[in-house]
Amino acid sequence: MRLFVGLGNPGAQYAGNRHNIGFMAVERIAEDHHFPPWRAKFKGQTAEGRLGPEKVILLKPETYMNLSGDAVQAAVQFYKLTPADVTVFHDELDLAPGKCRLKSGGGHAGHNGLRSIHQHLGPDYERVRLGIGHPGHKDRVSGYVLSDFAKADRDWLDDLLRGLSEGAADLAQGEGARFLNAVARRVAPSRNGTMPPGAAQAAQKTPAAPRPDKAEAAAEDSRTPLQRLADRFR
């Protein structure tokens, strides 16, 4: 059995926040894999189902971010799980928007939800780090994470959530590389065959090499018509 925890804050006013991308991840998994309706349990909302052969409990703590560990510990104790059975989906300031990384163990890097889980379980659980980018200065972090994703973020956010859902069964079975590959297939920059940002502008600024006119081309070719014909079949 696995416990997938999405971190966020409860309430409609926080639903679209960058800080709530963990909630969004487990909600997308529940929807795409036809989990039964969410129900109140363990100081949060839970849904139980299967991802491939694995039974998985999805959990959204409703204790607010700073006390997320209370709900996680309650679920771990009830199901007699170990920290290694727990995977936490959370926002990550130190990754570019749309990036996804998998990590086991280590510090909490100042993330309040992870800090709370550390206090209850220790560090030996798995994390799915979901990049939201950084506002540029530490004084702007609080307002940034508690603000909604911008309209410009919708495409990559949907691709990321879809990739997480498509790889969820691999993640539940401990196939981390296959999980990350599933995400990468959705969020790769070349997925639409478009130029990366700035490439189109650079192409416009780079003048094309001038093409020789017909007179110049003729002047450069001193072969007779018969020689030109023969050269075509060599």
Fold classification of 2-192 (topology level): Rossmann fold (3.40.50)
pLDDT exceeds cutoff 50 at 153: yes
DSSP conformation class of 140? G
Span 158-180, pLDDT tens digits? 999 999 999 999 999 999 999 99
Residue 128: partners with Cβ closer than 8 Å, 6 or more residues away = 25, 87, 88, 89, 90, 100, 101, 102, 164, 171
**Residue 19 catalytic?**
yes
Among the residues of 146-213, which ranges form H helices? 154-166, 168-172, 176-187, 199-205
Q: In what order do the strands lie in the sheet with 86-92?
A: 39-41, 44-51, 54-61, 2-6, 86-92, 126-131, 100-104
Percent of the chain with pLDDT over 70: 80
Span 28-70, pLDDT tens digits: 999 999 999 999 999 999 999 999 999 999 999 999 999 999 9
Confidence of residue 92 (pLDDT cuts 50, 70, 90): very high
For tokens 């204790």, the residue is 63
Give the mean pLDDT of 4-13.
97
Residue 44 CB neighbour total at 10 angstroms? 23
- What pLDDT is recorded for position 188? 82
Which residue among 19, 33, 90, 111 is the active-site one? 19
| Residue range 187-194: mean pLDDT, rounded | 55
Domain boundaries, the chain: 2-192, 200-232
What pLDDT does residue 110 have?
A: 86
- Give the up-direction half-sphere exposure of residue 91: CA atoms within 13 A in the CB hemisphere: 30
Per-residue pLDDT tens digits for 194-223: 433 433 333 333 344 444 444 444 444 555
Q: Which of 153, 129, 134, 128 is nearest to 96 (CA)?
A: 134
